[in-house]
A and B are shown apart, each in its own frame.
Chain A
Amino acid sequence: MEWEAVIGLEIHAQLATKSKIFSGASTAFGAEPNTQACAVDLALPGTLPVFNEEALRMAVKFGLAIDAEIGRTSVFDRKNYFYPDLPKGYQTSQLFHPIVGIGHIDITLEDGTSKRIGVTRAHLEEDAGKSLHDEFPGMTGIDLNRAGTPLLEIVSEPDMRTAEEAVAYVRKIHALVTSLGICDGNMAEGSFRCDCNVSVRPKGQEEFGTRTETKNINSFRFIEKAIVGEIERQIDLIEDGGRVIQATRLYDANKNETRSMRSKEEANDYRYFPCPDLLPIVIDEDYIDAVRDSLPELPDARKARFIEEYKLSDYDAMVLSGDHNLATYFEIVAKAANDAKMAANWVMGELSKHLNQNDTTIANSPVSAEQLGGLVERIKDNTISGKIAKQVFEVMWAEGGSADEIIEAKGLKQVTDTGAIESIVDEVISKADKQVAQYKAAEPDKRGKMLGFFMGQVMKATGGKANPGAVNGILKKKLDALCD
């Protein structure tokens, strides 16, 4: 039987505010446990929440960026459940009247086709604290620094059919929130995480199958793997005569499989109701217009501009505009080097390769855009060849320094002095009687190909520093002179 997967995603984007959603405690990452948890975050009796205006503005920005209806009146609700990292006994969230209503984004797939994915809603809520289960025997340690950090939960329609579509959607949302400056997008620190709802059904069937939810996946690669694995697991299960049980699952990256966390059949009863501690949030047209006017350039517009302004290919423009930090980085390199195509090749090639190999991100790149721009500029003005530039890049990555400093210190400057190249060429020719004889014997139109050997010898003799164009010209001239 042919199966079809149905995928819907819930993304939690941590909003990049300085303080928490309902208190004046800091949201900075990595502080000592409980040093950024104030009386409100600890839910001490008598404390009351006061809503952070920046969290509201950021949510509205997102809503406008996905063409969504903005809730003129939105309301906070209490989602009630007991867990020690949630000291109030409820999470303040939005169920009935979210700040962002129905919207959509368009994704582009590898084969160039695009697809519109619906966004059901996006609502504001607070994050919980962190539970540490393994540090103390018989006890759980609670760190409430993260409690009260503002989150925007972005809920998609079940519009995706493959893992590829799901990843393209997540990447697009990631590019959006980082371009808008409302989320730092740091997946390793949990600022951007994804829950995947997956079900399968026989192709052509209207009705959805039973779905599972895989929680808190924190990398693009893992999202893809988790979905692919979960689709296979469900199909195998059904084909073997079993049935899918509605459950919450965890993705184990080490084993590359999902496993059951808790069954939804004993699901929590959250008893949502409007939070009496917070009044309705009312915004008017002027407010929305002002936020709309403040929107920065968004990924789709940026892609179009890259094609227009830098003459990049559709593919290059898509990759570079698909990540806010990468796009910003590329533009600095392109301007410094004054060659967009070469800048794009270096950013998408050598730089991305190094970032992947070292499992790091553009934001943490040891080579800055200015440094790389300086390097590409030196290829462009023929100070060094592309090959030598890779050596310079290695040094830059490992030890730092500007291209000019490294070229100077390592003596890598390209030899363009014709006299110097001529004497090396003479030397190479004098030691290669056999190859010279072959060259002479060859048909004139075959000789071009035979230059390769001599070229290699000259480059070897100069440590790759001779200007390839100059060497080629001189070699041809001298060898052809021997043939006459």
Chain B
Amino acid sequence: MALDRSDVEKIAHLARLQIDEQDIPEYTQNLSNILDLVNQMQAVDTSDVEPMANALDAVQRLRKDAVTEDNNRENLQSVAPAVENGLFQVPKVIE
């Protein structure tokens, strides 16, 4: 299955990736190659196989409902680019 330029632009937008115009043909080719591989695997008959949600042959372990984390704000916010009044600051996201 071949992707075209607009598919790659859309994928980049959804992933919030800025890509260079000149690289788009290469990305298009590489991503198409991956899909070709997927297509090859699609040829295998899996009608008797239960789809799996995880590669590990195990089930989820559960945690007791208990508060185990203390306030660690100062530490955690020390790596944030901007903090004010305890709030993380980001560029304004609505008009």
A contacts, CB < 8 Å to B = 17-19, 23-26, 32-39, 42, 44, 50-56, 75, 80, 82-84, 97, 131-133, 135-136, 138-144, 269, 271, 274, 276, 278-282
Contacts of A18 in B (CB 8 A): 65-67
* Further contacts, 19 of them, CB under 8 A, given A269-B14, A271-B14: A24-B67, A24-B69, A25-B67, A26-B67, A33-B85, A35-B86, A38-B76, A50-B61, A52-B62, A54-B64, A84-B88, A136-B89, A141-B84, A142-B89, A144-B88, A279-B53, A279-B61, A280-B54, A282-B59
A139 CB contact (under 8 Å) in B68, B71, B86, B90? B90
Pairwise interchain contact A138-B64, C-beta atoms closer than 8 A:
no
Chain A residue at smallest Cβ distance from B91: A139
Residues of A near B89 (CB, < 8 A) are 136, 139-142
Nearest neighbor of B55 in chain A, beta-carbon distance: A276
Q: Given the complex, which residues of B lie within 8 Å of A133, measured CB to CB?
A: 92-94
Report whether over half of chain B's contact residues are helix, strand or loop; otherwise say mixed: loop
B56 contacts A by Cβ under 8 Å: yes
Residue in chain B with minimal CB distance to A23: B69
A400 to B28, CA, bound (A): 74
Q: Are A33 and B86 in contact (CB under 8 A)?
A: yes
**What are 30 sample pairs from A and B whose C-beta atoms fall under 8 A apart?**
A17-B65, A18-B66, A24-B67, A24-B68, A25-B69, A26-B67, A32-B73, A33-B87, A34-B86, A34-B88, A35-B86, A36-B71, A39-B76, A50-B62, A53-B62, A53-B63, A53-B65, A55-B65, A83-B93, A97-B53, A135-B85, A139-B84, A140-B94, A141-B85, A142-B90, A278-B60, A279-B53, A279-B54, A280-B53, A280-B60
Given A139-B90, A139-B92, A282-B59: A38 touches B54 (CB 8 Å cut-off): no
Shortest B79–chain A CB gap in Å is 8
B residues within 8 A CB of A37? 73, 76
Q: Closest Cβ of chain B: how far from A246's Cβ, in Å? A: 20
Contacts of B67 in A (CB 8 A): 18-19, 24-26
Report the Cα distance A25→B68, complex, angstroms: 6
- Find chain A residues with CB under 8 A from B64 CB: 53-54
With known contacts A36-B71, A75-B53, A281–B66 Cβ distance under 8 A: no
Residues of chain B in range 28-73 having any CB-CB distance to chain A below 8 Å: 53-56, 58-69, 71-73
Tell me which residues across on chain B come within 8 A of A276, comparing CB atoms: 54-55
Please report the C-alpha to C-alpha distance between residue A169 and residue B91 in the assembled complex, in whole angstroms: 40
Among residues of B, the one whose C-beta sits closest to the C-beta of A278 is B60
Nearest CB of chain B from residue A20's CB, rounded to whole Å: 9
Among all A-B residue pairs, the 8 with the closest Cβ atoms:
A24-B68, A141-B87, A54-B65, A53-B62, A38-B69, A33-B86, A142-B88, A279-B60
A6 to B77 CA separation, bound complex (whole angstroms): 47
Q: Which residues of B contact A82 (CB under 8 A)?
A: 16
Q: Cβ of A26: which chain B residues have Cβ within 8 Å of it?
A: 67, 69
State how many residues of chain B have any CB contact under 8 Å with chain A. Answer: 36
Residue of B nearest to A150 (CB): B65
Most A CB contacts (10 A, CB to CB) among B69, B85, B88 go to B88
In the bound complex, residues from chain A placing their C-beta under 8 Å from that of B59 are 279-282
Q: Could you say which residues of chain B place their CB within 8 Å of the CB of A97?
A: 53
A144 to B80, CA, bound (A): 13
| Given A34-B73, A279-B58: A52 and B82 interface contact (C-beta under 8 Å) | no
Residues of A within 8 A of B54 (CB): 274, 276, 278-280
Which chain A residues border B73 with CB–CB below 8 Å? 32, 34-35, 37
Q: How far is the CA of A271 from the CA of B92 in the complex (A)?
A: 25
Contact in complex: A138, B92 (CB < 8 Å): yes
Residue with the highest number of chain A CB atoms closer than 10 Å, among B63, B71, B89: B63
Which residue on B lies nearest to A268, using beta carbons? B14
Interface string of B6-27 (1 = CB under 8 A from A): 0000100010100000000000
How far, in whole Å, are A426 and B45 apart by their CA atoms in the complex? 105
Nearest CB in chain B to that of A131: its residue: B93
Instruction: Indicate whether A140 sits within 8 Å of B91 (C-beta atoms), given known contacts A75-B53, A279-B58.
Output: yes
Chain A residues, Cβ within 8 Å of B90: 84, 139-140, 142
When distances are taken between beta carbons in the complex, the residues of chain B under 8 Å from A35 are 71, 73, 86
Collect the chain A residues with CB atoms within 8 Å of residue B61's CB: 50-51, 279
What is the chain B residue whose CB lies nearest that of A40? B69
In Å, the complex CA distance between A278 and B92 comes to 33
Q: Compute how far the CA of A324 lies from the CA of B93 in the bound complex, rounded to whole angstroms.
A: 40
Which partner residue on chain A sits nearest B59 by CB separation? A282
- Report Cα–Cα, A301/B53, bound state, in Å: 39
| CB closest chain-A residue, reference B76 | A42
CB of B73, distance to nearest CB on chain A (Å): 5
Residues on B with beta carbons closer than 8 Å to the beta carbon of A131? 93
Residues of B within 8 A of A33 (CB): 85-87
CA distance A37 to B86 in the complex (A): 11
Pick the residue among A19, A42, A132, A143 that contacts B65 (CB under 8 A). A19
Contact A140 B63 (CB under 8 A): no
Q: State whether B16 touches A51 (Cβ < 8 A).
A: no
A358 to chain B, nearest CB (A): 32
Minimum Cβ distance to chain A for residue B21 (Å) = 22
B56 touches A136 (CB 8 A): no
- Give Cα distance in the complex from A82 to B12, angstroms: 13
List residues of chain B with CB within 8 A of the CB of A51: 60-63
